[in-house]
Structure 1
């Protein structure tokens, strides 16, 4: 039996989705060339039209999946308006995919502060300088804003902007997909109606 077959069996027989995700992400970190924590984030605007873009997962635990953004950006406004979102991880090197859906909450201020201070100084300046998702008259205007905030925060710590924080998706469903021969893939879905519940229902899905 091959290593891939062993892994497939392990994942379909297990009953704790966050533990499976942790193992898959760990494997992706050794096989993906760039950004194994990259994920497609899907949101819905006020007209009901979907939007999707790539963002980076910055943390996860049994409470959910965390990423950070400018709350005044398009995705920030849409999440604050709808309080729900979906994620998709795709690791091409492993031929695996994970889909996540659920309500969204804002992370605690101390959690956001700690992550913000862990970022490179230039990224913290950028969080102040960029009016994310809004029209930019020229590249020079952005560079000027960066220079202004660099001068303003030349010494000491750079505070977290009030419009910049994190979101946590608390999943009501997590689906694991692994490529199979002749497109007979393995699909296992974990579902819980209540995001605060520790109990998951598990079902195998047709590929």
Structure 2
């Protein structure tokens, strides 16, 4: 009497039953999990991986631009809002971020803006930035900018435009939903000077 090997068919049936049960189980788990819980878990995972959220990165990029705006307008009121009370600002550091002059505490940081009085006008432009979240409320940044500084004429020199490349190495912290600079290292990286050309206004 011929025999029939049912083993392959049995394996296919068991595989189908197992797959169906797994799909049903995943569906039940998804239905029992609130949508906001999934979102929160995703944000936690993203922060743990150092990516942060798009909203946080946008807020930090606005922080960088507002800093440059405050420098160009010499606006101490705006400048003060960009830093934590215990902020540390290192200015004129070497290109590798070492040495420099250290300003500690918000009052010393804000007072550093007095140095902008040395030039009459300036335009700072952000070039690029690499921002990395280290937790849900902390991040680091490495950004570049260019500065055009117009120094007024003196008894021995004409009005001069200084064009300078700048690198900022930062630490940020989110306080009450607002990102602030907790640590900044300012490094001039290159520079050239040129004679200023007067603008002929129509009236």
Normalising to structure 1: TM-score of the pair? Answer: 0.27
User: Which structure has the higher relative contact order (CA within 8 Å, separation 6+)?
Assistant: 1
Select the structure that is richer in strand: 2
Q: TM-score, normalised by structure 2?
A: 0.28
Larger Rg over CA atoms: 2
The structure richer in helix per residue is 2
